[in-house]
């Protein structure tokens, strides 16, 4: 038997296999060393089926990481005091507006260093998450923190709006909780989050609605525009339009592909949006 192979057989046993099984095929170098794997054995393995994926985090496969493996790798990189937040955290909470292709954000205490490693962004925070939610190996920020962090780190207002509005409209988060979380954090870098929360408070049910409301509101000629008003006739509540101009009794409906889950244009679902909209 070749010396290199015997070295691996001697050091690599059931403990290593069990560790990878518990952690979705991932482990840190420190964990492997604690189980008796030597540095020489690890180097041999990294050239023959294993690979480094994020700093000290090692995968037992050369295949592309799954979305779950990416967040597990981020957690392992950040360590036991790291807390997932941002896009990947809102996805773990079940919101569809999170973008899984973005860096995996992990919050760490101020005594740790901020750094970017592969697809992971480790960020120091002066407001550590005191009661993170547990999801197996993962420590996840509560939804209000995750939503506001996502909006803070968003590259566009559309993305910030989409996450905030989905959280509010699905009743996963309360506007007051989001506002409290926003006010508790730093003001610097919060412009998109503040605008998104203001749009949700104004009644927008989707990012396209908020965008149109902005455009109409900037006009010096149009009368005031109201989002999703409560309309009644003879005491009977009517369906709520997306936008309403009361001076001329004009109702506007916004057909959003994201809000309508990409229903094809012209489909029955697209044509009958108004009949399925809940009243305000």
Residue 219: per-residue pLDDT = 72
Q: Is the pLDDT of residue 161 over 50?
A: yes
Q: Which of 172, 201, 230 is the last residue of a domain?
A: 201
Residue with the bigger pLDDT between 273 and 112: it is 112
- Residue 36 structure tokens: 């008796």
Report d(CA 9, CA 75) in Å as an integer: 29
Is the pTM of the predicted complex or chain greater than 0.95? no
Q: Report d(CA 266, CA 162) in Å as an integer.
A: 24
Residues of the domain holding 195: 67-201
Both 124 and 182 in one domain: the answer is: yes
Is 206 part of any domain? Answer: no
Question: 34 and 81: one domain?
Answer: no
Q: Tokens in use for 77?
A: 């990189």
Extract the tokens encoding 108.
């760490």
Query: Which tens digits make up the pLDDT trace of 124-155?
Result: 999 999 899 999 999 999 999 999 999 999 99
The CA distance from 69 to 27, in Å, is 11
In whole angstroms, what is the distance from residue 36 CA to residue 66 CA? 28
- More reliable by pLDDT, 33 or 6: 33
Which residues, at least 6 apart from 114, have a Cβ–Cβ distance to it below 8 Å? 108, 122, 123, 124
Q: What is the pLDDT of residue 3?
A: 42
**254 to 133, 168, 200, 229, 271: CA distances (angstroms):** 36, 18, 16, 14, 12
**Is 233 part of a structural domain of the chain?**
yes
Judgement on whether residues 195 and 79 belong to the same structural domain of the protein: yes
Report phi then psi at 196, rounded to 5: -65, -40
Banded model confidence at residue 12, pLDDT cuts 50, 70, 90 = low
* Residues 124 and 9 both lie in one domain: no
Q: Is the pLDDT of residue 229 over 90?
A: no
Lowest mean pLDDT among 3-7, 41-45, 167-171: 3-7
Domain identity same for 192 and 78: yes
Q: How sure is the predictor about 207, in pLDDT bands with cuts at 50, 70 and 90?
A: low
Give me the sheet containing 226-227, strands edge to edge. 226-227, 243-245, 250-252
Distance CA 209, CA 214 (A): 9
Are 20 and 119 contained in the same domain?
no
Do 42 and 77 belong together in one domain?
no
């Amino acid at each position: 038997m070749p010396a290199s192979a015997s070295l691996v057989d001697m050091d690599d046993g059931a403990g290593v296999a069990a560790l990878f099984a518990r952690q979705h095929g991932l482990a840190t170098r420190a964990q492997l060393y604690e189980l008796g794997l030597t540095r020489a054995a690890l180097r041999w393995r990294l050239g023959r089926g294993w690979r480094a994926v994020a700093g000290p985090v090692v995968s037992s496969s050369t295949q592309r990481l799954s979305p779950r493996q990416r967040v597990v790798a981020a957690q392992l990189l950040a360590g036991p005091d790291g807390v997932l937040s941002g896009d990947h955290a809102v996805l773990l909470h079940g919101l569809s507006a999170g973008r899984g292709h973005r860096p995996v954000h992990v919050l760490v205490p101020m005594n740790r260093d901020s750094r970017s490693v592969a697809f992971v962004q480790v960020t120091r925070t002066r407001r550590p998450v005191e009661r993170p939610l547990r999801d197996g190996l993962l420590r996840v920020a509560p939804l209000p923190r995750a939503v506001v962090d996502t909006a803070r780190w968003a590259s566009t207002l559309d993305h910030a709006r989409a996450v905030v509005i989905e959280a509010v409209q699905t009743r996963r988060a309360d506007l007051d909780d989001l506002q409290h979380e926003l006010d508790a954090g730093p003001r610097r870098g919060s412009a998109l989050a503040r605008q998104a929360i203001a749009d949700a408070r104004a009644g927008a049910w989707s990012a396209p609605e908020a965008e149109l409301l902005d455009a109409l509101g900037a006009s010096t000629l149009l009368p005031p525009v109201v989002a999703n008003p409560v309309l009644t006739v003879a005491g009977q509540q009517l369906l709520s339009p997306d936008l309403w101009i009361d001076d001329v009794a004009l109702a506007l409906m916004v057909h959003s592909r994201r809000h309508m889950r990409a229903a094809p244009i012209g489909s029955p679902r697209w044509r009958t949006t108004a009949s399925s909209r809940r009243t305000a």
